[in-house]
Amino acid sequence: MKLSEEIVAIQDMAKKFVQKEILPRVEDDEREHRFQGDIVRKMGELGFFGCPIPEAYGGSGLGFLAHAVVTEEIAKISGSLRAAFNMQTMGNAREIFQYGTDEQKEAYVGKFVSAEYLGCIGITESNAGSDVASMKTKAEKRGDRYILNGSKTWITYAQVADAGVVYAYTDPSKPYKGMSAFIVDLHAKGVSTGPTAQKLGWQACPTGELFFDDVEVPVENLLGGEEGRGFTLCMGSLNNTRLTAAAGGVGAAQGLVDEAIKYAKEREQFGRPIGEYQMVQEELARMVVETEAARLLTYRCAMQKDDGVLNNALETSMAKYYACDVASRVADGALRILGAYGYSSEYPVERMLRDAKLPQILEGSANILKMVIATDALGYRKANR
């Protein structure tokens, strides 16, 4: 697919950034579980987080396809850093730009784009995963503020974020319709965090719990200025974060394909490079084709959004479901091609495989997306509403 000159230019910039800033330290940072805040800030300065944001709010206005292309480049080498494209862009800057009041856009969008503020997204709770509407966090209006109480779990950047969009019930008697979204200052009194979660991959990306104990949130921070729209805004935001996840899946898969090709050409057994054996070629062919198919679904989804079709939940679900499944399958293929060295932390495939398993869970599990796709196909519930 031919990309515009502007997109190729930012893609090249991302490729160079990966080589110069990320590659030399990615393995150490992951091994040491070290958050790469300095890299995230540099990515902000270079405009990596501003593609789907107009210039008036600190972005470049290059669009969703550019966002997907840049995300893919970073994801080829690091899942932990690809997370930033949702913490900074889709889950905060873009969400506030899309749904916020003029004052909210003015106050926050540019700060997330530049990474002056690190963001987080507060949806999941210990008993509310896929079933978002079962969340228990509450926000009670008292005068000119809301009092926020509850807790969130599995929150990316919980320990390092400055602010984020947090979902809570303003009217718990109304499932779905009683939910609202807030821009919450995470340095406010009453906000605390739990220990960093111990997890399989994305080790350089902190994840954890957020606790809200009588946190005062000014009424001006009710996203969009209207109560009861939280669930709708959350689904709208997920429809954007899932594009990033899809692009992340494509990048992860491509990174693994690249490693497998390199190894298959170098490694000799029975007197020949293993890449010359048909069964290795069969594995590799599947990996290459599935990655390319995932890329096309992802780019189609991004281009639709660039054409102004923002409610393309069907195409977004297809892209996210497929690309993230492909990343996981391609990781298994790369492991087979590398054999023992795929299982060894001497080679990046071991880390990349662990990282490639996460996207199937995040931002809508594979099952939830298949439900959206199948119920649309069956005519039970239209996805693009």
Ligand X SMILES: Cc1cc2nc3c(=O)[nH]c(=O)nc-3n(C[C@H](O)[C@H](O)[C@H](O)COP(=O)(O)OP(=O)(O)OC[C@H]3O[C@@H](n4cnc5c(N)ncnc54)[C@H](O)[C@@H]3O)c2cc1C
Choice between 63 and 230, CB closer to ligand X: 230
Tokens 């700060």 map to which residue? 111
Name which of 384, 270, 267 is nearest 318 in CA terms: 384
- Cβ of residue 273: shortest distance to ligand X, in angstroms? 37
DSSP bridge pairs for 119 = 163
Rounded least distance, CB 350 to ligand X, Å: 18
Q: What residues form DSSP beta bridges with 121?
A: 165
By beta-carbon proximity to ligand X, the closer residue of 121 and 223 is 121
Closest CB to ligand X: residue number: 129
Q: Give 37 or 129: the residue with its C-beta nearer to ligand X.
A: 129
* Cα 209–Cα 206–Cα 166 angle in degrees, nearest 5: 45
* C-beta of 330 vs 372, nearer to ligand X: 372
Q: What is the DSSP letter of 241?
A: H
CB atoms within 10 A of CB 26: 20
Instruction: Please say which residue, 60 or 239, places its beta carbon nearer to ligand X.
Output: 239
Q: How far apart are CA 49 and CA 43, in angstroms?
A: 7
Q: Supply the DSSP string of 177-199, one letter for each residue.
A: TTEEEEEEETTSTTEEE-PPPP-
Phi, psi of 256 (to 5 degrees): -70, -40
Active-site annotation holder among 209, 227, 315, 363? 363
Separation CA 181–CA 191 (nearest Å): 17
As measured in angstroms, the least distance from the Cβ of 28 to ligand X is 20
Q: At closest approach, how far in Å is the CB of 308 from ligand X?
A: 27
| Identity of the residue, 8 or 377, whose beta carbon is nearer to ligand X in the bound complex | 377
> Buried (b) or exposed (e) across 264-301, using 16+ Cβ within 10 A?
beebeeeeeebbeeeebeebbeebbebbeebbebbbbb
Per CB under 6 A, residues contacting ligand X are 120-124, 129-130, 154-156, 199, 202, 207, 358, 361-363, 365, 367-368, 371
Q: How far is the CB of 258 from ligand X (least distance, A)?
A: 24
6 counts as catalytic: no
Minimum separation from the CB atom of position 346 to ligand X (A): 25
| Residues paired with residue 166 on neighbouring β-strands, in sequence order | 122, 182
Pull the structure tokens for residue 350. 């071991």
The residues that are catalytic are 363
